[in-house]
Amino acid sequence: MSLAKPAMRGLLAKRLRFHLPIAFALSLVAAAAFKYGVTEPRKKAYADFYKEYDAMKEFNAMREAGIFESVRPSGE
């Protein structure tokens, strides 16, 4: 009783025909999930933040706190 020889001829092509479409589909699903699960909420959060952001108000608050060396607080 001998073991059957493994089918080696064409094995790579046969396995690629099966695994390549699956890998391609999974990569598309992962890319779509990242886009709609991470980047879109992040873009919305940035848009919401900058909708209410006042750069001059922040600058004046930092100036009054004495953060800048080149700009003195208005009290001095």
Q: pLDDT tens digits for 5-44?
A: 888 888 999 999 999 999 999 999 999 999 999 999 999 9
**Contacting residues for 74 by C-beta, under 8 A, at least 6 apart:** 63, 64
d(CA 55, CA 52): 10
CA dihedral angle for residue 42, residue 47, residue 52, residue 53, rounded to 10 degrees: 80
d(CA 23, CA 56): 50
Banded model confidence at residue 61, pLDDT cuts 50, 70, 90 = very high
Measured on CA atoms in the order 7, 12, 13, 15, is the torsion positive or negative?
Answer: positive
Residue 2 has pLDDT above 80, yes or no: yes
